[in-house]
Structure 1
Amino acid sequence: MKPAALFINNHPYSHFARGGKYILPTSEIDIHLVTRNRRYGGVSGFADHPLDHVSLCGIDDEDDWRAVCEWTLRNHPITRVIAVHERAVLLAAEMRSKFGLPGMQYETAVRFRDKVRMKEAVRAANAATVPGFSALDSGDDLANVDWSTGRKVIKSRLGLAAKDLYMVDTLEQARRVVAGLDLSGSHYEIEEFVKGWIYHCDSVVQGGRIRFSSVGKYLADPASYRPGGIFGTVLLTDGELVKRITELNERVLAGLGIEDGTTHLELFHTADDELVFCEVAGRPPGGIIPPVIEQQYGFDIVETQIRIDAGIDFSLGSVPESRHGGASGFIAFYPGAEEPKGIAAELFPGLGIVEHIEHKDAGNGQGGVRHSTDFRDSYVVNAPDTETLMRRIADIEDEYRR
C-alpha cells in the first residue's frame, strides 16, 4: 500500500498541471486533498487528474479548514503533510506538531511567517542588517516610534502578497491608519521604510544544507501593484552582488533553523550598497518565479517542495549550473480597465517568449487588483544575456500595450 499524505491547498487545482505537466506524485503517495472552494482554490481541472480523497472548505473559515484537516488525520493512516501556499504552510506545520509527523514544525514555521518573530531571529543570529521594527499592538505604541528618521511601514505580521501594507510619514498619518485596523491579537508591526531595489533569493534546503539558490531582481516593487501596472523579475547568475546575497541568505536560513524545504527571501539593495533584510518565507516562491527557475535551471521548485513534504526523492535538474548560458525572467501585466489585446503567438519566438500564462479571472471584479501576484497575462522570457533579456522585456511591454 502506498504511503498517505494530507495536502493542505489554497491554489486552484489546475495550478499543479501547468502546461500539461501534472506535478502531484499520485503514483508514489496517496493524496488526501483539503482545499479552498470557489475562487481562491477549488478543484478546477480535477476531471483530468482525479483524486480519491477531497474535502472543500470555505475560503476564509480557518476553523473549518483546521477541523477538516484534524478529522482527516485522525481517520486515515497519514504520515506526511504537504503545503506550498503561504496561507497553508503555518496550518500544515501546526498539524505536524500536533500529530507528531515529520517536516517543518510549528515553531519553525512561525519564524518564517510572523514578521516580528522572523526579524528578531535574524537580528539575534547577526545574519543580516534588519530595519528598525516593533510590534504594533495598540495605538499607544506609535508614540514610542522615532518619527525623526522618516517614513515608516505598517504591515500585517502574517500578511502575504504585499497586502495589508501602509506607508506613513508622520505620527498623525499613522494614527489615522491604525484607527481603521484591528490591533488586537498581535497582528501588526511597524518598521522603518527602506529605499532600495528589491531582490529575491529562492532556495532548496535538505538536511539543513542549501542544495540550490537562485537570485533575482524585481522589475518593480511588489507593493506597487495597481490596475494596468506591470511586475516581473530577472534572474542573475553571477557577480559579486549575487555572491553577497546568497551568503546573506545562507546566514538567515541558518538563523531561522530550517532543515528541509524551499524558501523565498526578499531584501533591499540600497544606494549605499547595503543589503537590508526584508522578509523570508518557508515555501516556494509565488507568482511566475517557479516557471522562470524551471526555464533557467530545469526543475520545478514547487514540485520539489511537494516531494520534500511527502518524504520522497527529488531531482534538481542541472543544478547548480544553469542549463543554458542565457538569462531568464518574466514580465506580468495586472488587469486594467480595458480587455487586453495580448500578444499574438507567432510573435513569441522573436520576443524570446517561452511561455504565456493567462488568468482571465484576475482582478477583484471591480477594476481593482487584489494582491502582488494577481496577474492577467504573464510571459516567461529567455535571452542570450541579461542586456538582451531586458530589451526583450521592454519590447514585450510595448507590444502588449500596442
Structure 2
Amino acid sequence: MTALAKAAEANGEELESVLAVDGHDERALSEAVRFQSTFGGRRAARLVAVTERFLLLAARLREELGIPGQRVPQTLPFRDKVVMKEHLARHGIRVPAFAPFTETAARELLRSHPAVVAKPRLGTGSTEITVLRGEADLAAFTAAHADRLANFEVEQFVTGRLYHVDSMVEDSKPVAAIAGGYIDETTSYERLLPCRDVGVPPGPLLDTLLDFNRRVLETFPGFTGVTHHEMFVAEDGEVYLCEIAARAGGGGVIAGFLSRTGVNLDEAMIRAQLGEPLPTTEGPADHLTGFIVIYAGPGTLREPLTAPDEAWVLESQILAEPGTALTGPQNCNDAAAIVSVRGDSPEEVVRRLDQVHAHMAAALGSISAG
C-alpha cells in the first residue's frame, strides 16, 4: 500500500498487487490492508509499517487480522506521549512533569514552572508544539484548539539542549547506538531557518546519553527493532526524556548511522517487523557525522539546489526542484534539502554544515513569489 502520489514508483517483478490510497484516510488505508492481507487466496505473513503515524494503525490491524508482530499495548508507549511518560515514570525514568491537557492542569504546572509546553499526544514532525508562559498564552492556545484539546498533553518546559540517540535494538538491548545533538531548534522550519545536528564524540556526555538510552530501552521487554530517542540535558546536567519512537530518525539520521555502523536503519526496522535477524555491525566508527535540514518557500525555486562536491558529503537529498511551486514547510520533515556530512570532530562537522548552507544560499535567494 502506498500514497496516491507515489503509485507510479511502486513497480517491479517482486510486486504482485499495489493499492494506492490517501494516507490521511485511515479508513481507506485499513480497507487496503484488509484486501491485501488475503490477496491471491493467501493470508499475509507479516504487516510492515515504517512511517511513525502508521505504526499504531498497523498494530491494530495485526490484532484484527491475526498477523504476527507488535501489538497495540507494545506500540502505544512509543506513540502516545502521555502513555509513554506514565510508562517510563513507573520504571524510575526521569520525565518532565506532565499531564493530559486541561486548562486546570496547565495552570497547575505553570505555578511550579516558568513555562510549559503543549504537544499533540500522537504528534509527529514537531508540529503544533506551543510554549505557554502565562495566562495569556494559555487562553490563546485553548481558543485556537478548543475542539480538540483532549488530543494534547502539557508538560514542564526543560531549559537545556535537546539530544537524540538512535539505536538498533534486539530484545530491549541496543546492539548499536550513536548520539547526536541539535544545534538549532527542531521548530526552525516555522521561521525558514535551517536545523543542524552534530554527532556527540566519546566522553562523559556520550556515556551519560547512552546509559540513559539503555535504561529506557530496558523498560520495553522483548522489543526488537529501531528507536529514535530524544532527551533533554538540563542546565543542571540532569537528563529528562523528551520522547522515544519505534522508528528510524528523520533528517540525516539514517545516512549518519549507516556511515558509522554500516547498518541501514530502514532495513533493520523492516527486518525486525518481518521477524528476520537484524543486520550485523561491529560498532560505531571513530569519525562523526551531522546533517543540515534546509527549508524554503513559499514561492518558486529558480536555481537548482546542490551540495558541495566534496568527499565529506555523505548524502544529499534534494527535495525541491527548480520551477516547482513551494508552499512553505508544514513540519520539520517538509524540507527543500537535507545534506549529511562527516568529520573528525564536532567543530569540523559544524564548519562543513555551514559550508553546505553557504553553498546553497544563492539558489535559496532565487526563490520568487511567482
Give me the TM-score of the superposition, normalised by structure 1. 0.82
Task: Find the partner of 1:109 among 61, 75, 78.
Answer: 75
Counterpart in the other structure of 1:179: 143
Judged with a 3 Å threshold, the aligned counterparts in structure 2 of structure 1 residues 280 and 44 are, in CA distance, closer, same or farther, namely farther
Equivalent-residue separation in structure 2 for 1:306 and 1:99 (angstroms) = 19
Task: Find the partner of 2:86 among 120, 130, 140.
Answer: 120
Task: Find the partner of 1:205 among 165, 169, 185.
Answer: 169
Equivalent-residue separation in structure 2 for 1:295 and 1:359 (angstroms) = 21
- Deviation of the 1:208 alpha carbon: 2.8
Q: Is the CA contact (8 Å cut-off) linking 1:112 and 1:256 kept in structure 2?
A: no
Judged with a 3 Å threshold, the aligned counterparts in structure 2 of structure 1 residues 251 and 242 are, in CA distance, closer, same or farther, namely same
Judged with a 3 Å threshold, the aligned counterparts in structure 2 of structure 1 residues 294 and 272 are, in CA distance, closer, same or farther, namely same
- Deviation of the 1:321 alpha carbon: 3.4
Quick check: 1:36 aligned with 2:20? no
Task: Find the partner of 1:332 among 281, 289, 293.
Answer: 293
Judged with a 3 Å threshold, the aligned counterparts in structure 2 of structure 1 residues 381 and 142 are, in CA distance, closer, same or farther, namely closer
Task: Find the partner of 2:97 among 126, 132, 136.
Answer: 132
- Deviation of the 1:219 alpha carbon: 2.3
Task: Find the partner of 2:50 among 84, 90, 96.
Answer: 84
Judged with a 3 Å threshold, the aligned counterparts in structure 2 of structure 1 residues 340 and 211 are, in CA distance, closer, same or farther, namely farther
Q: How does 1:158-197 map to 2 (within 5 A)?
A: 158-182=122-146, 184=148, 186-197=150-161
Q: Is the CA contact (8 Å cut-off) linking 2:119 and 2:128 kept in structure 1?
A: yes
**Which shifted more, 382-391 or 237-246?**
382-391
SS in 1 for 2:187: helix
- Deviation of the 1:139 alpha carbon: 4.2
Structure 1 gaps of 5+ residues are: 1-33
Counterpart in the other structure of 1:370: 330
Deviation string, structure 1 residues 301-340 (Cα, Å, up to 9, x no partner): 11110111112233234x3131xx3221111211135637
Amino acid at match of 2:117: V
Judged with a 3 Å threshold, the aligned counterparts in structure 2 of structure 1 residues 210 and 340 are, in CA distance, closer, same or farther, namely farther
- Deviation of the 1:241 alpha carbon: 1.0
Counterpart in the other structure of 1:320: 283
Task: Find the partner of 2:235 among 268, 271, 278.
Answer: 271
CA RMSD in angstroms comes to 2.5
Quick check: 1:64 aligned with 2:28? yes
Deviation string, structure 1 residues 169-216 (Cα, Å, up to 9, x no partner): 112321221222155583111111111111001111122322111111
Counterpart in the other structure of 1:30: none
Count of residues in correspondence between the two structures: 358
Equivalent-residue separation in structure 2 for 1:399 and 1:265 (angstroms) = 31
Q: How does 1:347-358 map to 2 (within 5 A)?
A: 347-349=308-310, 352-358=312-318
Counterpart in the other structure of 1:11: none
Deviation string, structure 1 residues 119-154 (Cα, Å, up to 9, x no partner): 011111002x21111001x54544444335211111
Amino acid at match of 1:133: F
Task: Find the partner of 1:52 among 16, 33, 36.
Answer: 16
Equivalent-residue separation in structure 2 for 1:141 and 1:192 (angstroms) = 11
Equivalent-residue separation in structure 1 for 2:250 and 2:90 (angstroms) = 28
Identity of paired residues, percent?
A: 25
Equivalent-residue separation in structure 1 for 2:105 and 2:62 (angstroms) = 35
Judged with a 3 Å threshold, the aligned counterparts in structure 2 of structure 1 residues 240 and 175 are, in CA distance, closer, same or farther, namely same
Amino acid at match of 1:89: L
Task: Find the partner of 2:354 among 394, 399, 402.
Answer: 394
Equivalent-residue separation in structure 2 for 1:239 and 1:36 (angstroms) = 43
Give me the TM-score of the superposition, normalised by structure 2. 0.88
Equivalent-residue separation in structure 1 for 2:325 and 2:90 (angstroms) = 44
